[in-house]
Amino acid sequence: MEPFRKDRLYSDLLEASAKPGCPICRVSLAFVRSYLDNTMYERVNDGEVRAELRNARGYCNTHAWMLSEGRGVVLGTAIIQRDVLNTVLEALNVEPPGRGTRHHVQELLRRLRPTAECPACVNRRVMEDIAIGTFLKYLDDPELAAALDSSDGLCLPHFSRALELVEEPGHLHRLLDFQRRALTKLRNELAELIRKHDYRFTSEGLGKESDSWLRALGIVSAERGAR
């Protein structure tokens, strides 16, 4: 990894760790957004990109709708979707094989089936691994460690991926320590939220635990749109 990217990622992670939710989700969402923007602005006429999207039958649900939230995406989206619809129409244009409806349907389904994965998902996975690698590498950096101290931890999908990628025993130890602390804190906030839902304690009013249920959704199932 070239130094620029490493430094840039480190500061992205540092910033993300000081905000609510999984820092890898946050960084990865920003990567995917800029990947989609870049595709729309610079790569819509790239034959390879267009072929990938035709083969994938467009973006997956998450990335299709994320794309729609970008600026200046009308023309690019129209070009890509027209391409995909042309492919779908071509797939439908098959003569009935003359062996009954079931065979016809099976042939249609075969021709409609994507032969490639959503390219934004492929890109997201690559960038996630780079971000997790940087995260592990800088786990003992004092500034990052301080930011992580008040964070909610990694979401379960990214924590599992970090466990798959971690190599050094010191890094594993710090990862487990950090995650255990973060999850314990969040679990305790949930317990406090549940306690205050008891009619005997509702007068106490809610504190920082008030949105713990939402943060827990992100930590257990990854942040919205990040997976």
Question: Please, which residues have CB within 8 angstroms of residue 168's CB and are 6 or more apart in sequence?
Answer: none
Please tell me whether residue 215 binds Zn ion under the rule CB under 5 A.
no
First to last CA, the chain: 24
Minimum gap (Å) between residue 36 Cβ and Zn ion: 10
CA-atom Rg of the chain in angstroms: 23
- Interface region with Zn ion, contact rule CB under 5 A, candidates 22-30, 43-51, 67-75, 134-142: 22-30
CA-CA distance, 71 to 193, in Å (whole number)? 39
Please tell me whether residue 219 binds Zn ion under the rule CB under 5 A.
no
Minimum gap (Å) between residue 33 Cβ and Zn ion: 12
Choosing from 14, 49, 121, 172, the residue that interacts with Zn ion (CB under 5 A) is 121
Letters for 45-74 (x = contact with Zn ion by CB under 5 A, - = none) are ---------------x--x-----------
Q: Which amino acid is at 173?
A: H
CA-CA distance, 181 to 157, in Å (whole number)? 17
In the complex, the residues that contact Zn ion under the rule CB under 5 A are 22, 24-25, 60, 63, 118, 120-121, 155, 158, 222
